[in-house]
Amino acid sequence: MTVPTVLCAGHVNWDVTLCLDRLPAPDGEARILDQQSAGGGSAANVATGLATLGVETALFGSVGTDENGHLVRRALDDAGVDCVPLVTVDADTTVKYLLVGTDGEVMVLGNDGANESYAATDLADGTLSATDHLHLTNQDPATARRLAERAVDAGATVSVDPGRRAGERDFTPTLALADVVFYNEREAPRAADRPPRDDPPGYIRVVTRGADGAAVDTPDGSHWSRDGVDVDSVDTTGAGDAFAAGFLSVVLGTEDPEYDRALTVGNACGALATRERGARVRLDPDAVRRLSDAD
């Protein structure tokens, strides 16, 4: 197995996590039990997870010139993520407010901020030629498509995680270029790759099911499924990103991917993410190994 070089592209946020005694109903109120601030954004979360698992990883997205932007860059640098492709624009860094109930379930509020203030042309020509794999998360679909086209032209493989807005934004042209696509169980039924069709999609389809684990379907009709890892969960924010990092760390650089092992490692990474507050977690390889081996 070779160690791949991965470029993650998409949202880079500053997250404010509010831990509540319950998620409020409409016209309801909840009490804040705790709060914290840290870096977030799906692309940045996956990049951090991969870097801490020992995968050489860079990040392409946009942050602002404000203090939050500086804090985001510092945290990514500390985690070992290459931020050279990261674009800085004259705007406020995107802030997301994560409302977390005592059962770990999450609601998200956000503003647009500096996110998606970049174009595919902002990525230097030589970056993708030095990249083995491009991981795309939620972003402008036209930008995602162009990045995927450039990656394919450069000989890199592509994975896509459309995220919460999978049913709102049309990623169909990008999915047609993908090797791997990630959904969670809520996103999958409304995803853009599910129009009526007789032929299966031409990519590996990974669906995460939270505490119930995850499954993989391949274009040849093969199916793998693994149960989740039983841990005391306090916050499910970013668990899917941690899963994607773990899954990719196993399958990239291999000619014959071990999907059963990739699901086991991905589930372990996702479980570790739920044991901490906030969306971004450093995935300690020893802790991942212990959970994976115990599964």
Residues that are catalytic = 241
Residue 62 CB neighbours (<10 A)? 23
CB 162 within 8 A of CB 194: no
Beta bridge partners of 218: none
User: Coil, helix or strand for 120?
Assistant: helix
Sheet of strand 95-100, all strands in order from the earlier edge strand to the far edge = 32-40, 13-20, 95-100, 106-110
Residue 63 burial by Cβ neighbours in a 10 Å radius (0-12, 13-18, 19+): buried
User: Coil, helix or strand for 60?
Assistant: strand
Nearest to 237 by CA among 152, 174, 163: 163
Residues whose CB falls within 8 Å of the CB of residue 289, separated by 6 or more in sequence, listed in order: none
Residue 153 CB neighbours (<10 A)? 10
Distance CA 240, CA 135 (A): 14
Compute φ and ψ for 190, nearest 5 degrees: -110, 15
